[in-house]
């Protein structure tokens, strides 16, 4: 009997191993669990996704990360940062953004969902020696803890320009700011006019800024609509400078009543050395009405001959394996 059970176990494990190795597409969602606001990025020929743990604010007190060699098979890295390492953060930790600099990994996040300048919270920074952490508080306090230009200090995105300068784009409540980061990410360098926070809000902006460069042009993207509703979506602008002006071009990611609703708060991954792009985003299954029931997905993002982004088709299949050479 014992040998018979062992044989069954071997067969089950072999079948599982075969199914994993033979997996031809990621499928959406790309990993299990309620996760939102995903930042996709590449470190050392490995794809990484850093999402919000999508739960009620009082439970939203930690971050997990996911890594993959091919965009299809994902490994979970649990609890890379939580409130035990960020003493000033108590709740609502979300929308991470990460950057590597000088062999250190800097993890920017929002916490506490502050509603005024009189509350403790805002945008923080953590640092680690590896992309999977563990991360520790870089400053011991928020990097931004006040409302500048009426922008709630949330939804941060770190952008490295062509000249090596790092900028922080951020903002909720329909206002977006950009600020010039110090080299050690401990604060900001004022612009030439003496200001520190420059508003760059395009028409329709709600939250979730993201930027990338393609063919010398700056593509600035953001989320529109309410994050708990079906009409959450992503729009974009194109400019010659990271400061704009950003004239809204169109909406490129939105719900499909046959697939999912609330498709928004995204990031973008480019396959190194190729004009091959993927959009990483969250959406809500058709069966769900809870605002926090959001899943992380990946689909292809393409451009037309003029450089405009084609509308993204959200799918159940997801993307095929893509290894980094």
Please tell me the distance from the alpha carbon of residue 206 to that of residue 228, in angstroms, as a whole number. 13
| 120 DSSP assignment | S
| Contact predicate 299/315, CB 8 Å | yes
319/151 Cα distance (integer angstroms):
35
Instruction: Give catalytic status of residue 317 as yes or no.
Output: no
Contact 150, 197 (CB under 8 A): no
Q: What are phi and psi of 207, to 5 degrees?
A: -170, -175
Tell me the C-alpha distance between 189 and 21, whole Å: 49
Phi, psi (deg, nearest 5) at residue 119? -110, 155
CA 134 vs CA 97, 104, 308: distances in Å: 15, 12, 39
Is residue 147 within 8 Å of residue 117, measured between CB atoms? yes
Query: CB neighbours of 141 closer than 8 A, spacing ≥ 6?
Result: 88, 124
CA torsion, points 266, 311, 278, 220, in degrees to nearest 10? Answer: -50
The catalytic position among 132, 207, 224, 299 is 207
R_g (Cα) of the chain, nearest Å: 20
Q: For residue 290, give both structure tokens.
A: 């809870």
Please state the φ and ψ torsions of residue 19, each to the nearest 5 degrees.
Answer: -65, -35
Among all chains, which residue has been given the structure tokens 């951020």?
A: 170
Q: Is 207 a catalytic residue?
A: yes
Give me the residues paired with residue 42 across strands: 47
What's the angle, vertex CA 252, arms to CA 247 and CA 258, rounded to 5? 155
Q: With beta carbons less than 8 A apart as the criterion, state whether 151 and 173 touch.
A: yes
Active site (catalytic) residues? 37, 207
């Amino acid at each position: 009997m014992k040998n018979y059970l062992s044989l069954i176990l071997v067969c089950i494990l072999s079948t599982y191993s075969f199914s994993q190795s033979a997996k031809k597409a990621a499928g959406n969602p790309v990993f299990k669990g309620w996760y939102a606001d995903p930042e996709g990025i590449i470190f050392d020929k490995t794809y990484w996704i850093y999402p919000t743990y999508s739960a009620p604010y009082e439970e939203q007190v930690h971050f997990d990360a996911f890594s993959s060699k091919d965009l299809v098979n994902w490994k979970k890295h649990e609890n890379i940062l939580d409130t035990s390492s960020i003493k000033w953060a108590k709740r609502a930790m979300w929308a991470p953004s990460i950057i590597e600099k000088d062999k250190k990994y800097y993890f920017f996040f929002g916490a506490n969902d502050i509603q005024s300048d009189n509350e403790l919270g805002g945008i923080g920074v953590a640092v680690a020696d590896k992309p999977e952490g563990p991360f520790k508080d870089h400053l011991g306090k928020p990097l931004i803890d006040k409302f500048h230009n009426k922008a709630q200090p949330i939804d941060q995105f770190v952008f490295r320009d062509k000249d090596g300068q790092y900028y922080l784009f951020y903002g909720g409540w329909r206002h977006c700011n950009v600020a010039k980061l110090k080299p050690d990410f401990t604060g900001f360098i004022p612009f030439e006019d003496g200001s520190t926070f420059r508003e760059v809000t395009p028409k329709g902006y709600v939250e979730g800024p993201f930027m990338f460069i393609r063919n010398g042009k700056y593509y600035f993207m953001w989320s529109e609509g309410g994050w708990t509703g079906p009409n959450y979506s992503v729009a974009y602008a194109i400019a010659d400078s990271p400061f704009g002006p950003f004239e809204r071009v169109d909406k490129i990611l939105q719900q499909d009543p046959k697939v999912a609703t609330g498709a928004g708060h995204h990031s973008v991954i480019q396959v190194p050395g190729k004009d091959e792009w993927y959009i990483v985003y969250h959406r809500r299954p058709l069966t769900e009405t809870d605002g926090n029931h959001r899943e992380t997905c990946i689909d292809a993002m393409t451009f037309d001959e003029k450089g405009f982004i084609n509308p993204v088709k959200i799918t159940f299949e997801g993307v095929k394996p893509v290894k980094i050479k």
